[in-house]
Structure 1
Amino acid sequence: MSLQINYIALLLVVLILLGVLGNNHSITISATILLLMQQTFLAKYIPFMEKYGLSIGIIILTIGVLSPIVSGKVQLPNLAAFFHWKMLLSIVVGIVVAWFGGRGITLMGSEPLLLTGLLTGTIIGVAFFGGVPVGPLIAAGILSMLIGKF
């Protein structure tokens, strides 16, 4: 009997360790769920997650972003607030990030090999630099940098 190494499982274990060491729950939980799925009867649902996981994640993220507005913790601005330079800049940054995201999806579809580099960079950013792998939060980070420069 030969020892066959499951490199994907090993990668997931490494990601779990990086998540724990980097104190990043999103990496730890995600890699743990995928490892459990891969190693159990849930493996049959991995193609579903591959196909719909990003959409499901965006829906959950959007719910999280809109919840403070719905709960009343964040008030909707009046019309005049939309003409403040920070608000106009936030709209522009939101548009630019959404445009970049659309181009990124196109790039990953046309050159899937680059996905490995993108995932590696995202994991490093999340595990060691306190990053979060989501678009709207990146837009908010860019916006905060731009506002801080003026």
Structure 2
Amino acid sequence: MSFDNIPILIILVLALIAKNQSVAMAAAILLIIKLLGFSSWFSVLESKGINIGITILTIAILAPLASGKITLRDMYDAVVSPIGLLAVITGVFAAWLGGRGVMFFKASPDTITSLILGTIVGISFFQGIAVGPLIAAGMLSLVAGLFGK
């Protein structure tokens, strides 16, 4: 194994320590792809992976609507309450941040590892949960914008 595998191994180890299954699984799969010599897949994963992942996440979010577990009445009742309205506003803001995060990743791919490491540290030492590197990248893009970066 070469030294260029060390960064993904570090992420894998940190994810295992933090018990972050998503990051650990992703790092392990990428390492296996690389070790098996399928490195040509990386360009496809880089160009299509986020869209595929977001589609799968959206399917999971919409599944309760499709199955009937959440009805139109449930949606209405949730939205008309003060906390429901705040939830809509927060959801819009989070989605907007995620969109900025995608653009930021494309413009600054070197930040991906740092954001993931920061997420793992937050999980390991601050009882956090992985809210997603895309939203973190969106927040970073806002802060970087304040400093003209």
SS of corresponding position for 2:40: helix
**Contact 1:12 1:35 (C-alpha < 8 Å) held by counterparts:** yes
Q: Which shows bigger deviation, 122-131 or 55-64?
A: 122-131
- Equivalent residue pairs, number: 134
Whole-Å Cα distance in 1 between the matches of residues 35 and 75 of structure 2? 52
**Contact 2:79 2:85 (C-alpha < 8 Å) held by counterparts:** yes
Structure 2 residue 117 is the aligned partner of structure 1 residue 120: yes
Write out per-residue CA displacement over residues 37-82 of structure 1, whole angstroms, 9 at most, x where no aligned residue: 1111322111100111111110111111111222233333253542
- The code of the aligned residue for 1:131 comes to I
Candidates 85, 88, 96, aligned match of 1:88:
85
Candidates 21, 29, 36, aligned match of 1:33:
29
How far 1:36 sits from its partner (Å)? Answer: 0.4
Candidates 9, 17, 20, aligned match of 2:16:
20
Whole-Å Cα distance in 2 between the matches of residues 54 and 83 of structure 1? 33
- Structure-1-length-normalised TM-score: 0.72
What RMSD in Å do the two structures reach over aligned CA positions? 2.9
- The code of the aligned residue for 2:93 comes to V
Q: Which shows bigger deviation, 109-118 or 65-74?
A: 109-118
Write out per-residue CA displacement over residues 103-134 of structure 1, whole angstroms, 9 at most, x where no aligned residue: 23333334444444323223333555452253
Structure 1, unaligned runs of 5 or more: 139-150
Structure 2, unaligned runs of 5 or more: 137-149
- Structure-2-length-normalised TM-score: 0.72
**Contact 2:119 2:133 (C-alpha < 8 Å) held by counterparts:** no
**Contact 1:19 1:27 (C-alpha < 8 Å) held by counterparts:** yes
Aligned to 1:146: none
